[in-house]
Chain A
Amino acid sequence: MSDETNGAGERFAIGISFGNSSSSIARINPEGKAEVIANEEGDRQIPSILSYIGGEQYHGTQAKAQLIRNSENTVAYFRDYLGKDFKSIDPTPCHNSAHPIQTDSTVAFSIRDTESETPNTVTVSEITTRHLLRLKQSASDYLGKEVNAAVITVPTDFNDAQREALTAAAKAAGLDVLQLIHEPVAAALAYDARPEATVTDKLTVVADLGGTRSDAAVIASRGGMYTILATAHDYELGGSSLDQIVIDHFAKEFIKKHKTDPRENARGLAKLKMEGEATRKALSLGTNATLSIESLADGIDYGSTINRTRYELLSNKVFAQFTGLIEQVIKKAELDVLDIDEVIFSGGVSHTPKIAQIARSIFPEKTQILAPSTLTSAINPSELSARGAAIQASLIQEFETEDIEQSIHPMVTATPHLNKAIGVEFTSGDAVEFLPLLNTQTALPARRVAQYNVPAEGGDVFIRVCEGSREIKVTKPEPKAKEEKPKTEDDEDDSDFDSDDEEEEIREVVWKTEQPIAELAVKGVKAKGKVELMIHINADLGLQITAREVGGQSAVRGAVESP
């Protein structure tokens, strides 16, 4: 494919995740695996911050350090301002750095980015370009080859103006945006592209817990193709909410000792923010973390420790907000926790062990919780979207621009999805059981093959293909505990505990046949044989069904016309 070069010359693409708090760059290494690239400072999560002193530009962690001494010439948290109207933005995250101002219809910052003392007005697009330029430079330096194209991840609620502004800003940085992909889908792709992963039909919840905002999405993955069923956003919830808890905790301790509030002094607050964040991150790894700040307020040095239990106690409410967002998005998709096959934790805050543990208790046991604290083979949540972008970049970088545009055109993406599951009904005596083969929300056309055991004695086999729907069956245990109560004291305690346990209703998924589609008969099947059934559904809802004995010669086939 590589000899199909287009006029634009050779493309060299990477994946970029561009966030409000931090950004990452990733590529596919020669072994074919996605790998996040560290910048020259050794950071893989590069703070999306730019700072200027005496005309010199600082980026990433170096710029972040400037938030204390040089906050007015430091630009941070600007991703969500791109392509937006000034009136529609929330300037809260920028309180402690350069403030956004209005210029024409766009958002800008007034900063001294040259050697002169008079500040310049720099638009958010320009800031983005400078930021992407640095990312591009870091990647090019690492790879020893000029990077000129990228796949960039964006939130699901990014509108067309924001997409256009980002593409233009990247273009100005010398990066050809091959495609903008959605962050949750990138995270799902990062997991599904692992060599040990198999393509299955599943429902995934991606919880992207960021620094200043958190997003959740329900994705139906059918035959390796993704469809977003619902999204939920919280623009005030993120790592900064947790940082605030740590900051308040230490500030109160400081007040008790020294009678001044370090939060009232801008520099003191900036120092607390910086160190508080580091302490919060340390608590995700260890059970104890220290905080020490030189000259926090009134020239007093301050040092203290906090343990994880204490932190989790203080943060309980915020943790519940994170899991509440997950529950909210499932509800929005009109689904139940029982329907969810896996939960992918993405974003920096996903390192917090307690959040994954709370999620573990919400979901049934079969649901996979993909977070470092619940699964040892989990991918670093901070790297997921950059890796997904790198995988997508490697898939499409050899395509011609026109091919990419045509492929992602709505004509191609708009696809009918099955409204009801299709499966096979099994009758044994009075019991009717339905086994789904193609689940709801499967994109059409689709084809599935399954093998079923035939009755032990063999003979003629009857297959009934039906539409079915899933229901949540709630079984409430009978309140029988009360009768048993009047007994000895010891017993009473026991029965109390039991009744509490029993009162928890049992919820399960049951499948119900809605209407039959086709009936087939496979005759003369050997004992203990298997029957293979293939269902192919066209985009116009017509079906072709084929059934044959495994290893047998003849097949039964037929078609059902589209409605």
Chain B
Amino acid sequence: PALPAGWAADKDFKAVGKLSAATQRNLEPVGPHFLAHARRKRHHRTFSEDERI
């Protein structure tokens, strides 16, 4: 969509809201993607840190 006239923000970014609450659920500890997630979580790594290794 085109930029509305008169819209401006610092560095072209404006936070206007926040996410609503999340639900706590249990993941199924199965599959390669979960194992990657578990590895990140246990070592407190982020996605990009994980990719570098």
What residues make up the interface of A, taking CB atoms closer than 8 Å to B? 179, 181-182, 185-186, 189, 192-193, 199, 219, 223-229, 388, 391-392, 395-396, 406-408, 410, 412-420, 422, 426-428, 441, 443-445, 447, 455, 459-464, 466-467, 514-523, 536-537, 541, 543, 545, 556-563
Cβ 8 A contact of A225, one of B12, B16, B37: B37
Minimum CB distance partner of A432 in chain B: B1
Query: Are A557 and B13 neighbours in the complex by a CB distance under 8 Å?
Result: yes
Q: What residues of A have a CB within 8 angstroms of the CB of B17 in the complex? A: 466-467, 515-518, 560
Return 12 A-B CB contacts under 8 Å, by A number. A229-B25, A406-B38, A407-B35, A410-B26, A413-B26, A416-B22, A419-B20, A447-B47, A515-B20, A519-B7, A521-B3, A556-B11
> Nearest-CB distance from A460 to chain B (Å)?
4
Q: What residues of A have a CB within 8 angstroms of the CB of B18 in the complex? A: 517, 541, 560-563
Chain B 3-19, CB-CB to A under 8 Å as 1, else 0, gives 11001010111111111
A447 to B50, CA, bound (A): 13
Query: Are A225 and B13 neighbours in the complex by a CB distance under 8 Å?
Result: no
Q: What residues of B have a CB within 8 angstroms of the CB of A563 in the complex? A: 18-21
Question: Is B49 in the interface zone, CB < 8 Å from A?
Answer: no
Query: Are B13 and A186 neighbours in the complex by a CB distance under 8 Å?
Result: no
- Supposing A181-B28, A413-B29, A443-B37 touch, asked if A560 and B7 sit within 8 A by C-beta, the answer is no
A410 to B25, CA, bound (A): 10
A223 to B16, CA, bound (A): 27
Question: Is B53 in the interface zone, CB < 8 Å from A?
Answer: no
Minimum CB distance partner of B46 in chain A: A445
- Supposing A517-B16, A522-B12 touch, asked if A419 and B21 sit within 8 A by C-beta, the answer is yes
Cβ 8 A contact of A461, one of B3, B22, B34: B3
Query: Are A427 and B31 neighbours in the complex by a CB distance under 8 Å?
Result: no
A192 to B34, CA, bound (A): 13
Query: Are B31 and A414 neighbours in the complex by a CB distance under 8 Å?
Result: no
Q: What residues of A have a CB within 8 angstroms of the CB of B52 in the complex? A: none
Report whether over half of chain A's contact residues are helix, strand or loop; otherwise say mixed. strand
Q: What residues of A have a CB within 8 angstroms of the CB of B28 in the complex? A: 181-182, 185, 219, 225-228, 413
Q: What residues of B have a CB within 8 angstroms of the CB of A514 in the complex? A: 20
Cβ 8 A contact of A518, one of B11, B15, B33: B15
Minimum CB distance partner of A515 in chain B: B17
> Nearest-CB distance from A529 to chain B (Å)?
13
A467 to B19, CA, bound (A): 7
Query: Are B37 and A519 neighbours in the complex by a CB distance under 8 Å?
Result: no
What residues make up the interface of B, taking CB atoms closer than 8 Å to A? 1-4, 7, 9, 11-35, 37-39, 41-42, 46-47
A517 to B12, CA, bound (A): 14
Query: Are B1 and A412 neighbours in the complex by a CB distance under 8 Å?
Result: no
The 4 closest A-B pairs by CB, nearest first: A224-B33, A558-B13, A416-B22, A460-B3
Query: Are A412 and B42 neighbours in the complex by a CB distance under 8 Å?
Result: yes
A441 to B3, CA, bound (A): 31
Q: What residues of B have a CB within 8 angstroms of the CB of A395 in the complex? A: 31-32, 35
Cβ 8 A contact of B14, one of A407, A519, A561: A519
A221 to B46, CA, bound (A): 21
Query: Are A561 and B15 neighbours in the complex by a CB distance under 8 Å?
Result: yes
Q: What residues of B have a CB within 8 angstroms of the CB of A388 in the complex? A: 30
Q: What residues of A have a CB within 8 angstroms of the CB of B42 in the complex? A: 406-407, 412
Given A181-B28, A563-B21, 18 more A-B residue pairs with CB atoms under 8 Å apart are A186-B30, A227-B25, A388-B30, A407-B39, A412-B38, A414-B25, A415-B24, A415-B27, A416-B22, A417-B22, A445-B47, A455-B1, A466-B17, A521-B7, A541-B18, A545-B13, A559-B15, A563-B18
Query: Are A223 and B7 neighbours in the complex by a CB distance under 8 Å?
Result: no
A466 to B15, CA, bound (A): 11
A515 to B16, CA, bound (A): 9
Query: Are A520 and B12 neighbours in the complex by a CB distance under 8 Å?
Result: yes
Query: Are B1 and A518 neighbours in the complex by a CB distance under 8 Å?
Result: no
> Nearest-CB distance from A519 to chain B (Å)?
5
> Nearest-CB distance from B27 to chain A (Å)?
5
- Supposing A226-B34, A395-B35 touch, asked if A407 and B13 sit within 8 A by C-beta, the answer is no
Query: Are B3 and A517 neighbours in the complex by a CB distance under 8 Å?
Result: no
Minimum CB distance partner of A563 in chain B: B18
Most central of A186, A229, A408, A536 by chain B CB within 10 Å? A408
> Nearest-CB distance from A197 to chain B (Å)?
12
A229 to B27, CA, bound (A): 10
- Supposing A189-B31, A558-B13 touch, asked if A459 and B19 sit within 8 A by C-beta, the answer is no
Q: What residues of A have a CB within 8 angstroms of the CB of B31 in the complex? A: 185, 189, 192-193, 224-226, 391-392, 395
Query: Are B27 and A518 neighbours in the complex by a CB distance under 8 Å?
Result: no
Q: What residues of B have a CB within 8 angstroms of the CB of A445 in the complex? A: 46-47
Q: What residues of B have a CB within 8 angstroms of the CB of A428 in the complex? A: 1
Query: Are B2 and A461 neighbours in the complex by a CB distance under 8 Å?
Result: yes
Cβ 8 A contact of A462, one of B7, B22, B34: B7
Query: Are A227 and B27 neighbours in the complex by a CB distance under 8 Å?
Result: yes
Minimum CB distance partner of B32 in chain A: A395
A503 to B12, CA, bound (A): 50
Q: What residues of B have a CB within 8 angstroms of the CB of A447 in the complex? A: 47
Cβ 8 A contact of B13, one of A179, A189, A536, A556: A556
Cβ 8 A contact of A185, one of B15, B30, B39: B30
A559 to B13, CA, bound (A): 9
Q: What residues of A have a CB within 8 angstroms of the CB of B29 in the complex? A: 179, 181, 407-408, 412-413
> Nearest-CB distance from A170 to chain B (Å)?
18
Query: Are A560 and B15 neighbours in the complex by a CB distance under 8 Å?
Result: yes
A506 to B44, CA, bound (A): 48
A80 to B15, CA, bound (A): 54
